[in-house]
Amino acid sequence: MDTLTSLLLGVSLSAACGFRVFVPLLVVSTAAIVGHLDLPANVAWVGTDHALITFAVASSLEVAGYYIPWFDHLLDTVATPLAIVAGTIVTAATASDMSPLAQWTLAAIAGGGAAGLTKGLLNLLRIGSTATSGGLTNPILSTIELMASIGLTMLAIALPTVSGIAVLTVLLFVGYNVWRFFNKDRYQSGAIDKATSS
């Protein structure tokens, strides 16, 4: 697997960590154990039986926790930094042809960044869901997030280039629109000031 494909695979898996922290780690661990994915020596522990069991238990608890009313918000506060760490680990696990310095630097920036941005956007969506429905639609949102995490992880393993490009496109588009939304007042007031001065 070449470096660009490895990076796109890592970014896709990292974004999936933003939906559910442990599901992509569980899939990567399984893929490594069955021989579908070769892991670098410094993250070979991800492909061990102990890691597989740990990720399976953690995934089950995380999935169940998001269906408990109001606990899902508490879980988000813990899951956000964990998603960044998980995104960094899965990206490092796919970057087998790099020096350790390049591997972990790229993993922290690309992997941690993709996971953090995805998780941050989902946190905003959950807050909006709670505010508009009193939390009644949160289980639906949790199901969609779970399906997205599983689907994106499987797509990343099967077609890393396609999933990587899709993830980068969506994250850039959504991130830009969120940034515009939170800065629209500043731009509108600037446009009004220019119009008044002229």
- What are the tens digits of pLDDT across the range 31-59? 999 988 888 888 899 999 999 999 999 99
Give the pLDDT confidence score for residue 152 in this predicted structure: 94
List, for the chain, all residue ranges whose pLDDT scores fall below the cut of 50. none
Give the pLDDT confidence score for residue 1 in this predicted structure: 62
Give the pLDDT confidence score for residue 188 in this predicted structure: 63
Give the pLDDT confidence score for residue 192 in this predicted structure: 56
Residue given tokens 């939390």 in the structure block:
135
Give the pLDDT confidence score for residue 108 in this predicted structure: 92
Give the pLDDT confidence score for residue 26 in this predicted structure: 94
